[in-house]
């Protein structure tokens, strides 16, 4: 929201977000694993890095895409910045934000899997990516496919949850989620 409300903030911070986005998580993950002692926290950071940019970018576009006529109306009625944000900008940005969540959900799963591959952790507190690696080293193809199937299933579940959330948030008022008869 700060990006949409303050052009100087956007111009100063957006380049850092772009750099974070274009740097491969495979290159960042080893550094994160070195500096963050908790492997689970490091994996979460890697997943967040991959998921952050689509949410930031889409939400900023959504906040800026409010109808100019409505902006003029709010200005005409001398709405406060808080009123403009709450009643105009946020509702305008919600469809963009919800679409970004769908994208970010899948990307965060990819980021977590890649980070776990890089971490190379094996043991009790590891996830499915470690099982895929471990199975490939031991040539246990059925186990590898089972872990891959579970990762894919998790991705589908994340997508279904974000789709349901989008319908719940937008379903009563936005064209993208309103069910039409016929």
**Mean pLDDT of the 135-145 span:** 91
Question: In this model, does residue 20 exceed pLDDT 90?
Answer: no
pLDDT digits (tens, 9 = 90+) for 69-118: 999 999 999 999 889 999 999 999 999 999 999 999 999 999 999 888 88
**Mean pLDDT of the 12-40 span:** 89
**Mean pLDDT of the 8-15 span:** 88
pLDDT band at 47 (very low <50, low <70, confident <90, very high): very high
pLDDT band at 182 (very low <50, low <70, confident <90, very high): low
Supply the mean pLDDT for the chain: 89
**Mean pLDDT of the 35-54 span:** 91
End-to-end CA distance of the chain: 38
């Amino acid at each position: 929201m700060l990006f949409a409300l303050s052009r100087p903030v956007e111009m100063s911070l957006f380049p850092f977000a772009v750099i974070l986005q274009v740097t491969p998580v495979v290159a960042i993950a080893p550094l994160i694993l070195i500096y963050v002692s908790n492997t689970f926290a490091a994996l979460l950071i890697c997943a967040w890095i991959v998921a952050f940019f689509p949410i930031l970018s889409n939400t900023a576009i959504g906040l800026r895409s409010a109808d100019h006529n409505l902006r003029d109306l709010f200005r005409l009625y001398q709405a406060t910045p808080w009123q403009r944000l709450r009643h105009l900008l946020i509702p305008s940005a919600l469809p963009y934000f919800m679409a970004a969540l769908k994208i970010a959900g899948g990307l965060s799963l990819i980021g977590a899997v890649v980070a776990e591959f890089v971490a190379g952790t094996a043991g009790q507190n590891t996830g499915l990516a470690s099982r895929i690696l471990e199975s490939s080293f031991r040539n246990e193809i059925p186990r590898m496919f089972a872990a891959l199937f579970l990762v894919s299933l998790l991705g589908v579940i994340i997508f279904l949850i974000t789709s349901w959330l989008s319908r719940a948030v937008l379903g009563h008022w936005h064209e993208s989620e309103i069910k039409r008869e016929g």
